[in-house]
Amino acid sequence: MKKILLVLLNLLFFPCLVQAVPVYAEFVGGLNIDNIKLCNIKLKDECSGILKEDEDNKSSQGQADIEAKKKKMMEYASCMRQKMGNEGVCSQNLALLNKLQPNFVEVVNILHYPLFDAVETMVNKDNKQKWYFIVNHFGEFIDTRDVYSNMKDSTTYPYLIRKYPNAVLGDMLLDFSWRFEKLSLGEMRLVSARSVINRINDCIECEVIGTMEDGYDFKPNGTFKWVKFIKLIPNVPL
């Protein structure tokens, strides 16, 4: 009974979002960084000719040029998908590529924790396009673009939205390091941070007005439990 009361109090004061996450057979046992690196080495020069013309004309910025580059990247991803399908060590690379089809995904950093990994990737070979996910040893795949908390759960939110009616969540912070925390009863948490932006008139580089932290909680056996709102931090007093 005491344990149930603690859980209810926890839910009351720290809102969380319970979501089902997909399981990928390729990721059962965790991320295999050795195979991922070996796959990259094996296929380093494969399909590179498709992108050579874009590299020679990388200063082009017109809409037609942008569309042409997108088409080239789709061709590149399609070519790499075929090559990876013929290499056993590329099973996880291929799973990532299929996840963001037709985009191309390249793993750039992996943080290893007990029973799960946090992964930073680069999309379409663009340092400005970063994508983050968490995968555990059961193959559960937590996509941070789809699974995150709601900043409306913050007691600060009504004041923020009054000052910034167009406030919405932005991207994961590129310079934020995941924070690992040990919780009670053997559970674990990874804390991430996202920008809060003032989206006006479909702005491309919108004003950053704050930061939101949320926590990805895992049970003692490493299975995903939920994502929990942690805090909302405005950049200026409200």
* 97 within 8 A of 80, measured Cβ to Cβ: yes
Q: Sheet harboring 105-113: ordered strands across?
A: 23-28, 138-143, 126-136, 116-123, 105-113
Beta-bridge partners for 134:
118, 142
Task: Collapse the DSSP code of 102 into the 3-class scheme (helix H, G, I; strand E, B; otherwise coil) and give the result.
Answer: coil
Beta-bridge partners for 194:
172, 212
In the chain, the DSSP E strands lie at 16-17, 23-28, 105-113, 116-123, 126-136, 138-143, 167-172, 179-182, 188-198, 207-218, 224-234
Q: Quote the pLDDT of residue 35.
A: 92
Q: Which residues of the chain have pLDDT under 50?
A: 1-13
Q: Quote the pLDDT of residue 5.
A: 40
Q: Quote the pLDDT of residue 207.
A: 95
Task: Collapse the DSSP code of 75 into the 3-class scheme (helix H, G, I; strand E, B; otherwise coil) and give the result.
Answer: helix
Determine the Cα–Cα distance for residues 11 and 46; give it in Å rounded to an integer.
50
Q: Quote the pLDDT of residue 14.
A: 54
Task: Collapse the DSSP code of 190 into the 3-class scheme (helix H, G, I; strand E, B; otherwise coil) and give the result.
Answer: strand
Determine the Cα–Cα distance for residues 220 and 204; give it in Å rounded to an integer.
41
Determine the Cα–Cα distance for residues 59 and 74; give it in Å rounded to an integer.
20
Q: Quote the pLDDT of residue 13.
A: 47
Tens of pLDDT, residues 26-38: 999 888 989 998 9
Give the global pTM.
0.81
